Each structure stands twice: as structure tokens, then as C-alpha cells.
């Protein structure tokens, strides 16, 4: 090219054209991973997410109302509360009845989520933690089903049955250590079925199983079956090494409990302290047995009857599935586990705790779904001409028929039972009793209570040393030291079904009940909660004092009923003449009648005080102290006779006097 020649002009392409030539922008690696994961697991999510949502909704709705709150819930909730608020394993002497890891996990959940701050009743914070553990378990049931070879629909059925069976709802909602242990047990079996990275999987399984046992010691029953799964699933070339390593991990986790006892100087029995050996001796040897299943009055019968009433269809199908699954190799360890655990209940002199069934629910659900899945696959194979044995054809068809019958029975049963869980408020009597105690009992009083209300009353301002779990009064040395006179050093006992059924084991509680008077009562039947005032001078002296007080009230009431300044119905005058108005109210009403005409409405009891002396007056008008002057007058009657509340309503001035009053006010 010569100097005189012009260079050809190259025109740059437009920017849009440059982008087109460069192709689409690269997808970020993170987005690619997410899309890839969703592509692989999208079908599974379609099945499991609705099950999780349904289980969560069923477990959460009316969680505070049903089932009825029980003392075990209060025990574990209070211990979890003590970890977060007192920095102690328990707020009483820890006596190694259970390993503490279960309520430590509950404390972890409530501490991280602030659950105790969301509820007036502390046990409900514990129930929220149970909801969390239940949902984790639902997911693990699904994953374990898939790992066992179940189809997605069958795995979803297993997870659904585990999540919403009335038997499951009853126990998943209740604050039991077993519910904390279940997800760890399921995780252990899931990891034991690992094919890839088997050493890591087996170590994880051993660790998870150790956590399960330290959450609830009865889960140790599952150890032989977890070992069976690991041995059968292990690679022969590395079996000895992987099993030995995982066994060492399990031993180390278990020994941590022994180390805890040793560090605290409480490994072996000795004077002045509890011990791990003593706790194990009680749990395994000296604890009273549950009696015979054939004795309708035995604990064994009552426990099994409770399970049966909740969901007999699930129980029958679970046991039948376990029997059938003995012939299905992949389910055989789980089947033997369920049948073995059932057999253990019937051993001589056995103790069967109410939550024993919790460990069996997930495995029974998996077996029901697993056997049904196998039957469906057998049916399809037969239709395709691949099944030739008569046993396979008949067995598969028979099980599908059994499933159809079970579903027909299950729908009405579950409908009735779940409606009760979602609508019935069984906790209201206990809530009302707690509120009554907070409003009417002096906060320096000493109370014997059910475990389930301990934290609530402490949060209401009662000193924790003055709120005593009823069974600690004569079993805990620290409490006995604070109560040298036993039951006589307590002022009130709040009785629930738990206290009434357990009182026989405690002489102090029996004496407190015999020498106490009901001052408020809420609910009926098993939900009955009584607030009782303890009479340290004895029942006879208390009765004489009450009769004397009643006579004084009758005399004063008769005099007031005849006062010409009283404007009232004949019904009210009869109530006064019968001595049904309490002493403070009689004194104040008598003084008010001295100022002029007073119109009073008929007496009505306050909630929980039916049968007691009335302590509420509704003054419709008072000629001598009209309007706001009446309120001022009532506020200045003196501390001995002062009302607890005064409020103006459409009916007049409502005056409520304290429930607890000293004797002798009427002379």
C-alpha cells in the first residue's frame, strides 16, 4: 500500500449487535446450582412440602387448648427455663432421673426464638419447641422412606400418617423428651443407610444415636437394630473399620454423661448428694411396675387404653405391617424393632411410661406405607405378567384390601379425634386457677403445686423457693430443709388430676389435702383444678373456726337484711340471712347503710367460687354517697376492710372484696 492510498474504513458494529454476537450472559454459578438442585428435587418437593404444611397446621391450631396440660410437661419446661434463667440444669436438685440433653435442646430452642416471652403459660413455649421437633421428624420420615426405596407417594403417606394421626398429634404436642429424641433416632437410621462416604455416614449415625439416647434413655432399645442396619449396609472391604470407628464415637458420646456425673462428684451414691448409680437403679430396678394388661385398674391397662382410644386403626395397621414386613428384606430391621419394642412391654414386672409409644410411631408409619407400596408394586407387576407366585399375588391383593378397609375406618375416627384437638380447650381450668391465685393469694405465700404451673407462678411474682412441686415436699432434701414442719409450712395447695392420682405416694401431700379447704374451683372431671387453703392447725380446728365464722356472718347478715335502709329483693335478703356474704362485705355494707338508702343487686358468685361466700356487691344506688362520692367513700373504709377492686358499670358500682380474709372480723 502506497502512501497515497487510503486505508479502508472499518465501521464498528452497534452495541446491540456486539451483545448479540457475544451470546446470552453467563448464568451465575450459584444460580446454576439452585436451578440444578430444583430440577433434581422438584418432584420430591411437590410431595413433601404440602405434607409439612398440613402437619404444621394440624399441630399448631389450638396447641394451647388440647391435650390437657400435664405435670411431665411442666417438669421438662421448668428445667429448660432453669437453664436459660438460672444457669442450672434444674431449679431443684438434679437426681439423674433422665439425661439432661433433652431439656437442654428445649432450652436452646426457647432461648434462640424467645418462646418463653410469647406465652403466659410457659408450657406452651415447650409445646412450640415440640412443633419444631415434630416438623423436623416429618421431613426425616420422608427422607428415610425414600432411602428405603419407597416411592414418593408412599413416603408422603408415611410422613402424613406420622404427622397427623390422632395418636401422633396427642404425643407430638405434649412436651416429652421422647419428641426431642425422635429426629435424632431417625437421622441415625438415615445415615446408617448411606452408600457413599460410608465412614462419615456411620460416624454421623453413631453420634446422632448417642444424642437420641442422651435425650431419652429408653431409645437405647433401638441400638441392636441400628447396628443390624449398619452391618447389613456396610461395605465388606471396610466394614470392620467403619463399625469400630462408629462404635467408638457412640461410646464417647455415652461416656459424656458418666463424665458429667463424675465431674459433679455424683457418680456413685454417698451422703448428702444424688448419684448417677442411684438414678439408674431406680429407673431399671426399684421403680414400681405398671401391672398387668388384664387388670383394668393397672397403669399398664390405662396407658394402652389411652393409645387405643386415640387411634386403634393406626395401632392395628402398625402391628400387622410389622408382621408382614418380616418377609420384606429391606424393612425387616424396622419390623423387628417395632415387634421387639411391643414385646418388651409385656415382660414381667415392666414399667410402661405413657410416652413409650412415641419411639414406635415413625417406624410404624414407615412400615404401613412400605408394605402398601410393596403391595402396589406387586399388583402392577402381576398386571404386567411378571409375578408368578401365588403367595405374591394373594398377599399383595389382601394387603390392598386391608388398606381400603383401614381407610374406611380411619376417616370417621380421625375426623372426630382431630376435631377435638382443633376445637376443645382443656387447659382453661388451669389457666383460670393460675389467674385466681395471682389475683387473690398473697405473693409471699408458700404453695404446693402441679409442675405444669411452677414457671407461671414464679413469673407472676411468687418466690421460687415458695412455689414447690408437690412431690418434692418429702423427697428433696433442700425442700425438706426449708419445710421443717412438712405440709404445715405451706399455705395453699393447687390440686390437679396429677396431684389427686399421685397423692398416695406422699404423706405430706395427703395431709395437706385432708387439712385444707377449697377456696376456688375450676373445671370438672379430669380437668378439675381446686385452690385449697391449708389449715396447719388441722381439719377439726379449721371446721370449728369456719362454723364460728359462718354463725357470725349469719347473725350480721340477718341484721342487715332487716335494715330499713336496704333496698333489695327478697332473694338477696334470704342470701344475707343465710350468711352467704363474706365478712368484709358485711361490715362495709352495714356502714354504708348508716348513710342512707342503699339499693343492692342480687348476689352472684365470682368464677370458680360457686358454693363459697359471696364477695362481690353491685351497689345500684346509695343515697348517702351518690356517684363518684361512693367510690371515694369505698376507698377510705380502712385497710382492713378495703375492697380489692371498685369499678363503675351500667348496673352500678361493682365492689369486689379480697378472697382471703382473717377470721374474727365480725367479733
| pLDDT for residue 4 is more than 60 | no
Angle of the 198-215 helix axis to the 239-263 helix axis, nearest 10:
30
Domain check: are 100 and 156 in the same one? Answer: yes
pLDDT tens-place string over residues 598-622: 999 999 999 999 988 999 999 999 8
pLDDT at res. 38: 77
Distance CA 344, CA 331 (A): 20
In a domain, 91, yes or no: yes
Peptide bond into 67 cis (omega under 30): yes
In a domain, 229, yes or no: yes
The secondary element (H helix, E strand) that includes residue 261 is: helix 239-263
The secondary element (H helix, E strand) that includes residue 69 is: none
Mean pLDDT of 126-148: 98
pLDDT at res. 7: 45
In a domain, 392, yes or no: yes
Confidence tier at 392 by pLDDT (50, 70, 90): low
pLDDT at res. 139: 98
pLDDT tens-place string over residues 354-389: 999 999 999 999 999 999 999 888 877 777 766 555
Domain check: are 419 and 453 in the same one? Answer: no
pLDDT at res. 59: 96
Domain check: are 518 and 586 in the same one? Answer: no
Containing structural domain, residue 375: 39-423
Mean pLDDT of 244-256: 95
Number of domains into which the chain is organized: 3
Q: What is the dihedral of CA 264, 267, 268, 272, to 10 degrees?
A: 20
Domain check: are 240 and 311 in the same one? Answer: yes
Domain check: are 359 and 441 in the same one? Answer: no
Domain check: are 413 and 526 in the same one? Answer: no
| pLDDT for residue 436 is more than 80 | yes
In a domain, 1, yes or no: no
In a domain, 514, yes or no: yes
pLDDT at res. 411: 87
Examine the fold and report which residue of 423, 449, 477 is the final residue of a domain before the chain moves on: 423
DSSP per-residue codes, 336-398: HHHHHHHHHHTSTT----GGGGGGHHHHHHHHHHHHHHHHHHHHHHHHTT----HHHHHHHHH
Distance CA 224, CA 240 (A): 17
With 0-12 / 13-18 / 19 or more C-beta atoms within 10 angstroms meaning exposed / middle / buried, residue 495 is buried
DSSP per-residue codes, 472-487: GTTT-HHHHHH-TTGG
Peptide bond into 587 cis (omega under 30): no
In a domain, 69, yes or no: yes
Q: What is the dihedral of CA 116, 121, 123, 126, to 10 degrees?
A: -30
Domain check: are 400 and 473 in the same one? Answer: no
| pLDDT for residue 19 is more than 60 | no
pLDDT tens-place string over residues 448-468: 999 999 999 999 999 999 999
Confidence tier at 200 by pLDDT (50, 70, 90): very high
Q: What are phi and psi of 517, to 5 degrees?
A: -125, 135
Distance CA 262, CA 275 (A): 9
DSSP code of residue 292: -
Examine the fold and report which residue of 423, 458, 490 is the final residue of a domain before the chain moves on: 423
Residue with the bigger pLDDT between 546 and 206: it is 206
| pLDDT for residue 506 is more than 80 | yes
In a domain, 228, yes or no: yes
pLDDT tens-place string over residues 21-57: 455 555 567 788 888 777 787 889 999 999 999 999 9
pLDDT at res. 394: 59
User: Nearest-CA neighbor of 339 among 323, 315, 354, 357?
Assistant: 323
Mean pLDDT of 646-656: 91
Confidence tier at 393 by pLDDT (50, 70, 90): low
Give the end-to-end CA distance of the chain in Å, rounded to a whole number.
134
- Residue 567's DSSP bridge partners are 599
The secondary element (H helix, E strand) that includes residue 494 is: strand 492-495
| pLDDT for residue 445 is more than 90 | yes
DSSP per-residue codes, 609-643: -TTSPB-EEEEEEESSS-THHHHHHHHTS-TTT--
C-alpha cell at 104: 437442654
In a domain, 664, yes or no: no
| pLDDT for residue 215 is more than 50 | yes
Examine the fold and report which residue of 360, 394, 423 is the final residue of a domain before the chain moves on: 423
Confidence tier at 75 by pLDDT (50, 70, 90): very high
CB–CB of 343/319 below 8 Å?
A: no
Residue with the bigger pLDDT between 302 and 282: it is 302
| pLDDT for residue 188 is more than 80 | yes
Domain check: are 393 and 432 in the same one? Answer: no
Domain check: are 122 and 145 in the same one? Answer: yes
Domain check: are 596 and 642 in the same one? Answer: yes
C-alpha cell at 213: 439416647
C-alpha cell at 397: 391383593
**pTM score, whole prediction:** 0.89
Domain check: are 337 and 448 in the same one? Answer: no
The secondary element (H helix, E strand) that includes residue 599 is: strand 598-600
Domain check: are 408 and 554 in the same one? Answer: no
Q: What are phi and psi of 233, to 5 degrees?
A: -90, -15
| pLDDT for residue 10 is more than 60 | no
Instruction: Provide, rounded to the nearest whole percent, the portion of the chain with pLDDT above 90.
Output: 70
| pLDDT for residue 589 is more than 70 | yes
Mean pLDDT of 143-165: 96
pLDDT at res. 408: 87
| pLDDT for residue 323 is more than 70 | yes
pLDDT, averaged across the chain: 90
Amino acid at each position: 500500500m502506497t502512501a497515497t492510498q487510503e486505508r479502508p474504513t472499518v465501521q464498528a458494529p452497534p452495541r446491540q449487535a456486539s451483545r448479540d454476537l457475544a451470546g446470552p450472559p453467563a448464568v451465575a454459578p450459584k444460580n446454576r446450582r439452585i436451578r440444578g438442585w430444583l430440577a433434581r428435587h422438584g418432584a420430591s418437593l411437590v410431595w413433601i412440602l404440602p405434607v409439612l404444611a398440613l402437619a404444621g397446621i394440624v399441630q399448631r391450631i389450638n396447641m394451647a387448648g388440647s391435650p390437657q396440660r400435664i405435670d411431665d410437661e411442666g417438669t421438662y419446661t421448668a428445667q429448660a427455663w432453669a437453664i436459660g434463667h438460672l444457669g442450672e440444669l434444674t431449679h431443684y436438685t438434679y437426681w439423674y432421673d433422665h439425661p439432661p440433653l433433652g431439656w437442654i435442646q428445649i432450652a436452646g430452642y426457647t432461648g434462640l426464638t424467645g418462646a418463653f416471652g410469647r406465652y403466659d403459660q410457659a408450657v406452651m413455649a415447650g409445646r412450640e419447641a415440640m412443633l419444631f421437633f415434630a416438623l423436623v421428624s416429618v421431613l426425616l420420615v420422608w427422607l428415610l422412606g425414600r432411602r428405603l426405596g419407597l416411592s414418593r407417594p408412599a413416603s408422603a403417606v408415611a410422613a402424613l400418617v406420622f404427622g397427623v394421626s390422632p395418636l401422633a398429634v396427642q404425643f407430638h404436642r405434649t412436651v416429652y423428651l421422647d419428641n426431642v429424641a425422635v429426629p435424632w433416632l431417625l437421622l441415625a437410621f438415615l445415615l446408617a443407610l448411606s452408600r457413599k462416604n460410608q465412614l462419615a455416614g456411620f460416624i454421623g449415625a453413631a453420634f446422632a444415636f448417642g444424642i437420641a439416647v442422651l435425650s431419652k434413655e429408653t431409645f437405647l432399645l433401638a441400638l441392636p437394630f441400628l447396628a443390624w442396619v449398619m452391618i447389613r449396609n456396610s461395605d465388606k472391604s471396610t466394614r470392620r473399620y467403619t463399625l469400630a470407628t462408629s462404635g467408638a464415637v457412640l461410646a464417647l458420646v455415652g461416656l459424656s454423661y458418666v463424665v458429667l456425673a463424675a465431674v459433679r462428684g455424683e457418680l456413685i451414691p454417698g451422703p448428702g448428694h444424688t448419684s448417677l448409680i442411684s438414678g439408674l437403679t431406680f429407673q431399671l430396678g426399684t421403680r414400681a411396675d405398671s401391672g398387668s394388661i388384664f387388670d383394668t385398674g393397672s397403669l399398664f391397662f390405662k396407658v394402652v387404653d389411652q393409645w387405643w382410644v386415640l387411634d386403634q386403626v393406626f395401632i392395628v395397621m402398625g402391628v400387622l405391617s410389622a408382621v408382614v414386613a418380616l418377609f420384606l428384606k429391606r424393612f425387616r430391621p424396622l419390623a423387628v424393632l417395632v415387634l421387639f419394642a411391643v414385646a418388651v412391654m409385656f415382660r414381667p414386672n415392666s414399667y410402661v411410661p405413657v410416652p413409650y409409644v412415641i419411639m414406635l410411631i415413625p417406624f410404624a408409619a414407615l412400615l404401613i406405607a412400605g408394605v402398601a407400596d410393596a403391595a402396589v408394586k406387586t399388583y402392577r407387576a402381576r398386571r404386567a405378567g411378571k409375578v408368578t407366585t401365588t403367595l405374591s399375588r394373594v398377599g399383595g391383593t389382601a394387603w390392598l384390601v386391608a388398606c381400603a378397609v383401614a381407610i374406611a375406618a380411619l376417616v370417621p375416627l380421625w375426623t372426630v379425634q382431630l376435631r377435638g384437638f382443633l376445637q376443645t380447650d382443656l387447659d382453661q381450668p388451669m389457666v383460670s386457677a393460675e389467674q385466681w391465685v395471682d389475683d387473690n393469694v398473697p405473693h409471699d405465700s408458700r404453695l404446693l403445686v402441679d409442675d405444669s404451673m411452677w414457671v407461671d407462678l414464679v413469673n407472676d411474682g411468687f418466690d421460687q423457693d415458695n412455689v414447690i412441686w408437690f412431690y418434692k415436699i418429702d423427697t428433696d432434701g433442700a425442700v425438706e430443709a426449708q419445710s421443717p414442719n412438712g405440709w404445715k409450712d405451706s399455705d395453699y395447695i393447687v390440686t390437679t388430676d396429677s396431684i389427686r392420682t399421685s397423692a398416695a405416694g406422699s404423706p405430706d401431700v395427703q395431709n395437706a389435702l385432708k387439712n385444707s379447704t377449697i377456696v376456688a374451683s375450676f373445671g370438672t372431671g379430669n380437668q378439675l383444678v381446686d385452690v385449697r387453703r391449708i389449715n396447719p392447725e388441722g381439719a377439726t380446728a379449721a371446721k370449728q373456726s369456719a362454723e364460728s365464722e359462718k354463725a357470725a356472718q349469719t347473725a350480721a347478715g340477718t341484721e342487715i337484711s332487716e335494715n330499713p335502709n336496704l333496698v333489695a329483693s327478697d332473694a338477696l335478703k334470704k342470701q344475707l340471712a343465710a350468711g352467704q356474704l363474706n365478712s368484709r362485705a358485711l361490715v362495709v355494707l352495714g356502714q354504708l347503710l348508716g348513710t342512707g338508702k342503699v339499693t343492692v343487686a342480687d348476689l352472684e358468685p365470682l368464677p370458680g367460687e360457686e358454693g363459697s361466700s359471696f364477695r362481690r356487691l353491685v351497689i345500684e344506688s346509695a343515697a348517702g354517697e351518690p356517684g363518684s362520692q361512693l367510690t371515694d367513700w369505698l376507698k377510705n373504709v380502712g385497710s382492713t376492710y378495703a375492697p380489692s377492686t371498685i369499678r363503675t358499670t351500667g348496673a352500678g358500682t361493682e365492689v369486689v372484696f379480697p378472697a382471703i380474709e382473717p377470721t374474727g372480723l365480725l367479733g
